[in-house]
């Protein structure tokens, strides 16, 4: 036990030849002594014998080694981290931010190592507890019942490069790929990629760009624009196919055939979702060619006359000599965004929910609700932790008379967690503006259409929604004339 606190100590290898075949989280022989050197550390362990051993160290120096009564297993207790490194301690962020980082990391490990029971306690409150009985139970603990219940298991085995047109890996053993995990329904999305958890050979990766992108490509067109899934994907590869030592903090790994592995992950996710009962209906955009052009500059919105609607999605307007097609959702989103932005120094109007709604968040999200209640109130939310992953939502933003869905709380919380300072608010307000805006299928009468056009015309940037998509397209009379094989005329 005492030797475990010495530099370069490890029980994972017995000789240098085994370095390339470590089948755990890689060679981390210095981790425990490194932590011990900057903290007050206590190690208790027992391999199943009659008594265990307790080792107490301070600042890297072993203070005592003594027998202790305990069952089989090991407990490491770390206190006063960086107590002897004042500059490093002063560089730490605030309590709230550091706990958020710790909570996110623990949640990632809990999802990616569902065979290990995890318990996280903060300020004498248990914020996370997983039973170690499988990935669905881990996702249940981190994200709640609704996400876990509607998720699809992925289980696939094959070889990297076995797809048509892909190069084979050099060795059959090294090319074996196993993909396992759980994929939330495409209707369950988040504003950031932080909820796509990827592990390689049991190691959760926080910088898993290529594999994370592969997961999203597997979802394909099932995801709304600008949204990201909740997913846990564990990739099994042979030891020779992975280099775990390419990053000092082990946030990413090197893959011998990264493109082929990413392709295997994408196929596995796509196949799993294609066989699931997704119960999702999505409209695809039509090919309009050159007939429609985005409206730009000083346009004629204020003077436009509403002549009808199309598919309860678009407003058809006559503007000067052109036909103006207005996306009612994008237009309403722009109006909501600018009204929210104008109210950043005031409380955003809210609408109370009766009865209150319950939204499941991960542990870090629940803590953000508790710690950033004032910021959420300014954004129009009234919410409070309700036990476990549940948050009780009593009010949501209603910036244009239409209340946002309680699920909008997730985007607001994710945005707040991106940094300790809630400003700048542009991305967050854009997400919030989306939720209460008119949707495809919402009926808009002529009076409401007129009010929407007037409000859009008064915006600083009326011709694009906050996410950059156009709010209005124009069809010139010449375009219609060509289509009907008529000579262009102006009347």
Residue 133 counted as domain residue = no
Residue 52 counted as domain residue = yes
Which residues is 327 bridged to in the sheet? 314
* Residues 77, 84 contacting (CB under 8 angstroms): no
Q: Model pTM?
A: 0.64
What is the torsion angle, in degrees rounded to the nearest 10, for the CA atoms of residue 194, residue 200, residue 203 and residue 205? -30
Residue 176 counted as domain residue = yes
Structure token digits, residue 244: 């775990």
- Same domain for 62 and 196, yes or no, is no
- Same domain for 201 and 84, yes or no, is no
Residue 279 counted as domain residue = no
Identify the pLDDT of residue 162: 46
- Parts of the chain with a pLDDT under 50: 26-27, 162-173, 277-297, 420-425
Residues 174, 419: Cα–Cα separation, whole Å: 41
- Same domain for 212 and 252, yes or no, is yes
Identify the pLDDT of residue 25: 61
Identify the pLDDT of residue 264: 93
- Same domain for 420 and 337, yes or no, is yes
Q: Closest Cα partner for 399 from 347, 439, 446, 440?
A: 347
User: 227 lies in which domain range?
Assistant: 150-274
CATH code where residue 269 lies: 3.30.230.10
Residues 234, 181: Cα–Cα separation, whole Å: 6
Identify the pLDDT of residue 214: 94
- End residue of a domain, out of 92, 120, 138: 92
Is the bond preceding residue 245 a cis peptide, omega within 30 degrees? no
- Same domain for 268 and 412, yes or no, is no
For the chain, how many residues are written? 491
Task: Quote the crossing angle between the two packed helices 408-417 and 426-434, to the nearest 10°.
Answer: 170
* Residues 263, 163 contacting (CB under 8 angstroms): yes
CATH code where residue 52 lies: 3.30.565.10
- Same domain for 251 and 341, yes or no, is no
Identify the pLDDT of residue 425: 47
Residue 187 counted as domain residue = yes
- Same domain for 266 and 304, yes or no, is no
- Same domain for 236 and 207, yes or no, is yes
Structure token digits, residue 228: 């990201």
Residue 367 counted as domain residue = yes
Is the bond preceding residue 355 a cis peptide, omega within 30 degrees? yes
- Same domain for 336 and 227, yes or no, is no
Count of domains observed in the chain: 3
Please provide the distance, in angstroms rounded to a whole number, between the alpha carbons at the two ends of the chain: 93
- End residue of a domain, out of 274, 305, 329: 274
């Amino acid at each position: 036990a005492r030797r475990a606190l010495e530099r370069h100590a490890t029980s994972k290898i017995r000789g240098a030849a085994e370095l390339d075949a470590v089948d755990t989280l890689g060679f981390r022989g210095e981790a425990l002594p490194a932590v011990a050197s900057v903290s007050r550390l206590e190690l208790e362990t027992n391999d199943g014998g009659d008594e265990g051993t307790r080792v107490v160290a301070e600042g890297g120096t072993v203070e005592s080694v003594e027998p202790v009564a305990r069952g089989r297993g090991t407990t490491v207790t770390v206190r006063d981290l960086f107590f002897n490194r004042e500059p490093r301690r002063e560089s730490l962020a605030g309590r709230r931010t550091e706990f958020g980082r710790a909570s996110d990391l623990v949640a990632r490990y809990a999802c990616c190592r569902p065979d290990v029971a995890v318990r996280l306690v903060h300020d004498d409150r248990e914020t996370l507890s997983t039973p170690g009985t499988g990935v669905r139970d881990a996702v249940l603990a981190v994200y709640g019942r609704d996400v876990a219940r509607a998720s699809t298991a992925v289980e696939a085995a094959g070889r990297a490069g076995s797809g048509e047109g892909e190069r084979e890996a050099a060795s059959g053993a090294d090319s074996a790929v196993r993909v396992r995990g759980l994929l939330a329904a495409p209707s369950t999305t988040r504003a950031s990629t932080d909820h796509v958890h990827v592990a390689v050979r049991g190691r959760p990766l926080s910088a898993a760009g290529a594999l994370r992108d592969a997961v999203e490509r597997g979802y394909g067109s099932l995801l709304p624009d600008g949204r990201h899934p909740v997913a846990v994907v564990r990739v099994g590869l042979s030891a020779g196919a992975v280099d775990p030592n390419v990053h000092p903090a082990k946030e990413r790994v090197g893959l011998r055939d990264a493109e082929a592995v990413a392709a295997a992950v994408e196929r596995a996710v796509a196949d799993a979702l294609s066989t699931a009962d997704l119960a999702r209906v999505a409209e695809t955009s039509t090919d309009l060619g050159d007939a429609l052009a985005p409206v730009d500059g000083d346009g004629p919105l204020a003077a436009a006359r509403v002549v009808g609607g199309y598919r309860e999605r678009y407003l058809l307007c006559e503007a000067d000599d052109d036909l103006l097609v207005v996306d009612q959702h994008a237009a309403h989103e722009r109006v909501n965004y600018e009204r929210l932005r104008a109210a950043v120094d005031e409380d955003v109007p809210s609408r109370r929910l009766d009865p209150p709604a319950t939204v499941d968040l991960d542990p870090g999200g629940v803590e953000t609700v508790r710690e950033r209640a004032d910021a959420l109130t300014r954004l129009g939310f009234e919410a409070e932790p309700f036990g476990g992953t549940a948050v009780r939502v009593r009010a949501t933003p209603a910036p244009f008379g239409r209340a946002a869905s309680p699920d909008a709380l997730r985007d607001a919380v994710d945005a707040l967690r991106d940094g300790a300072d809630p400003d700048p608010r542009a991305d967050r307000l854009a997400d919030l503006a989306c939720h209460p805006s008119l949707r495809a299928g919402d009926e808009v009468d002529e009076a409401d259409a007129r009010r929407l056009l007037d409000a859009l015309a008064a915006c600083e940037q009326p011709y694009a929604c906050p996410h950059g998509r156009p709010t209005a397209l124009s069809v010139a009379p010449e375009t219609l004339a060509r289509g009907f094989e008529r000579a262009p005329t102006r009347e």
